[in-house]
Copies of this chain bind each other. A is one copy, B any other.
Amino acid sequence: MTGEGAIIRIAQLGAGRMGSVHARNAAANPRLDLAWIVDPRAEMAAALGKETGATPAPLAAVLADPAVKGVIVASSTDAHLDDTRACLAAGKAVFCEKPLDLSLERLDSVAADFARPGLPPLFVAFNRRFDPHYQALKRRLDGGEIGALESLQIVNHDPETPPPAFIPGSGGLFKDFTIHDFDLVRWLVDEPVVEIFAWASCLIDPEIAALGDVDTAKLLLRTASGKLCVISNSRRTGYGYDQRIEAFGSKGALRVDNVTNTAVSVWRAEGAQADAFPYAFIQRYADGYRAELDHFADVLAGLATPETGYAASRAALAMAEAAALSAQEGRPVSISVG
């Protein structure tokens, strides 16, 4: 708890898994006062409220509270777009858990709503940009440490396949999972991606194939100037989360290696074994989740403009749709995103 001066009142929609992450971070952030928590599942709202000091309330009450300056939208994915628009219309700044929506067509159909003058700021939370390791990578790339960037290789592998029930509403591998990589490429390469080629297989879980999705993919992306990017995706590693980036430039390479839980290792007859990798995104990107919420506090305080909003969401989604088309038709697909 800290002094009253700078505290900004916010509310949150959604008390699920990501909602818990954000609400806890809000509770520990001395600049934010998480006043309201909105979730039709009353028990979950009550439990998270008890843990974080927020009071369960209906959405209408939140939108009507003039003291609420910002809203964290962590409702179900299919509600993100409407919730976000409602909050913005009510004059609240929005922190929207990604994705803003899973349909490029729908996103385009409401484009005008996000272009109105005087709209409160919208931050769509692509958390990986806030990871301290990736931030250091970006800073060093921009600092010219390896000269001109020529190619990029991203490994983004999940520890284990999601439950089948998750698949139908997920948007599929490219929109649900690779979307992070598309945004990372845009952020790191800093020039438009113009063509995507994707091969995908279902090598792990036949149930995923039965639901029309894939679990393993390798993608190539080409930028306007000919830089080449590789993305490797898998839904199951057998060893926790695998999150790596390699950037090759004219003067050397910069890498982010996979993070370990601690610096402890054990030396045995089989060899030296480092500590385990973080199991999944909740552990691996804990710092990033804290930092993106702090970024939202900066936005609310007028100290920053959102790192990623409607345009970045649309661009990553367009790349995901192009990748899906490429995988389906077995040919490179051209795209045109900002």
Contacts and interface: CB of A to CB of B under 8 A. Distances in A.
A257 to B, nearest CB: 5
A27 B230 CA distance: 44
Interface in A311-329: none
A221 to B, nearest CB: 9
A218 interface: yes
A277 interface: yes
A128 interface: no
A249 B255 contact: no
Contacts of A251: 238, 268
Interface stretch (A59-67, A90-98, A150-158, A180-188): A150-158
Contact of A218 (B51, B228, B272): B228
Interface string A1-20: 11111010000000000000
Given A30-B1, A257-B263, A263-B259, A218 B238 contact: no
Contacts of A109: none
Contacts of A153: 153, 155, 230, 232
Q: Which of A157, A218, A229 has the most CB of B within 10 A?
A: A218
Given A1-B34, A248-B157, A263-B259, A239 B269 contact: yes
Contact of A53 (B2, B229, B255): B2
B255 A268 contact: no
Contacts of A236: 250
A229 to B, nearest CB: 8
Interface in A103-150: 132-133, 136-137, 140, 145-147, 150
Interface residues of A, number: 89
A210 interface: no
Contacts of A261: 136
Interface stretch (A76-84, A165-173, A199-207, A299-307): A199-207
Given A234-B248, A277-B271, A137 B3 contact: no
Contact of A197 (B29, B220, B273): B220
A260 interface: yes
10 contacts: A1-B2, A133-B264, A151-B203, A230-B230, A254-B265, A254-B267, A270-B276, A271-B274, A271-B276, A273-B273
Interface of A: 1-5, 7, 27-30, 32-34, 49-54, 132-133, 136-137, 140, 145-147, 150-151, 153, 155, 157, 197, 199, 201-204, 216-218, 220, 222, 226-230, 232, 234, 236-240, 242, 248-277, 330-332
